[in-house]
Amino acid sequence: MSDNHGNTPAAWAAVVVALVGFVVGGIGLMLQPVSMPIFWVGVAITVAGGLLFPIMAKLGFHDTTTRH
């Protein structure tokens, strides 16, 4: 197991974006009547969060060697 336990800017950013996507999608499902466009926007935001992590990791934001 790594020493950082995901505490890097890349991990935090990806989790926050994915969480926002889940919230937006959940709001779309709770509206009366259900708003599928808002739900799908939430899905797209969640997928973007998943893509954000490898991009930020390649840019060096997941590097744990510089942390103290």
pLDDT surpasses 80 at 2: no
What is the pTM assigned to this prediction?
A: 0.82
Residue 3 pLDDT class (50, 70, 90 cuts): low
Positive or negative torsion for Cα 19, 24, 30, 36: negative
C-alpha–C-alpha distance, residues 14 and 47, integer Å: 10
For residue 7, the model assigns a pLDDT of 84
Domain definitions of the chain by residue range: 9-58
Judged against a pLDDT cut of 50, whether residue 68 lies above it is answered with no
* pLDDT per position as a tens digit, 18-52: 999 999 999 999 999 999 999 999 999 999 999 99
